[in-house]
Structure 1
Amino acid sequence: MSEKVYVFDTTLRDGEQSAGVAFTPSEKVEIAKQLERLGVDIIEAGFPCSTPGDLEAVSRVAAEVRGATICALARAVATDIDTAWEAVKTAEDPRIHVFINTSDIQMAHQLNKDREQVLTQAEAMVRHAAKYTSNVEFSPMDATRADPKFVYEIVKRCVDAGATTINIPDSVGYAIPAEIEELFKMVMENVPNIHKARLSFHGQNDLGLCTGNTLAAVSAGARQV
Structure 2
Amino acid sequence: VIEAGFPIASDGDFAAVQAVAAECREVTVAALCRTSEQDVRRAAEALRGAVHPRIHTFVATSDIHLEYKLRKTRAEVVEMTRQAVRLARTFAREVEFSAEDATRSDVDYLCEVFAAAVTEGATILNVPDTVGYTLPAEFSQLVRTVRERVVRDRDDVTISVHCHNDLGLAVANSLAAIEAGARQIECTVNGIGERAGNTSLEEVVMAMNVRGDRLPFETRIDTREIYSTSQAVSQIIGFGVQPNKAIVGRNAFAHEAGIHQHGVISNPLCYEIMTPEAVGVPANELVLGKHSGRHALALRYQELGYALTAAELDAAYHRFTEVADRKKRIYDQDLISLIVAPIAADGEQWTRSAAA
**Common fold by TM > 0.5:** yes
Deviation at 1:194, TM superposition (A): 6.9
Matched residues in 2 for 1:88 and 1:180: separation? 32
Q: Is the 8 A contact 1:74 1:97 kept in 2?
A: yes
Partner of 1:10: none
Matched residues in 2 for 1:217 and 1:58: separation? 28
In the TM superposition, what whole-angstrom CA distance separates every residue of 1:77-135 from its partner, at most 9, and x where no partner exists?
01100000110121110000000010000011111101000001111110010011110
SS at match of 1:191: helix
Aligned ranges 1:1-225 → 2 under 5 Å: 42-191=1-150, 195=154, 196-225=156-185
- TM-score for both structures, normalised by structure 2: 0.51
The amino acid across from 1:91 in the alignment is A
Matched residues in 1 for 2:16 and 2:184: separation? 24
In the TM superposition, what whole-angstrom CA distance separates every residue of 1:141-181 from its partner, at most 9, and x where no partner exists?
10000000011100011001010101100011010100110
The amino acid across from 1:198 in the alignment is T
Matched residues in 1 for 2:116 and 2:151: separation? 10
Gaps of 5+ in 1: 1-41
Q: Is the 8 A contact 2:56 2:96 kept in 1?
A: yes
Q: Is the 8 A contact 1:45 1:71 kept in 2?
A: yes
Deviation at 1:52, TM superposition (A): 0.9
Q: Is the 8 A contact 1:63 1:90 kept in 2?
A: yes
Q: Is the 8 A contact 2:29 2:50 kept in 1?
A: yes
Deviation at 1:67, TM superposition (A): 1.4
- Of structures 1 and 2, the one scoring higher in RCO (CA 8 A, sep 6+) is 1
Matched residues in 2 for 1:132 and 1:163: separation? 12
Matched residues in 1 for 2:33 and 2:132: separation? 21
Matched residues in 2 for 1:74 and 1:218: separation? 25
**Which consecutive aligned stretches of 4+ in structure 1 deviate over 3 angstroms post-superposition?**
none
Gaps of 5+ in 2: 186-356
Q: Is the 8 A contact 1:168 1:201 kept in 2?
A: yes
- TM-score for both structures, normalised by structure 1: 0.80
SS at match of 1:140: strand
Matched residues in 2 for 1:201 and 1:53: separation? 26
Relative to structure 1, the CA distance from residue 60 to residue 172 in structure 2 (aligned partners, 3 Å threshold; closer, same or farther) is same
The amino acid across from 1:197 in the alignment is V
Q: Is the 8 A contact 1:156 1:194 kept in 2?
A: no
Deviation at 1:193, TM superposition (A): 5.7
Based on CA coordinates, which of the two structures has the bigger radius of gyration? 2
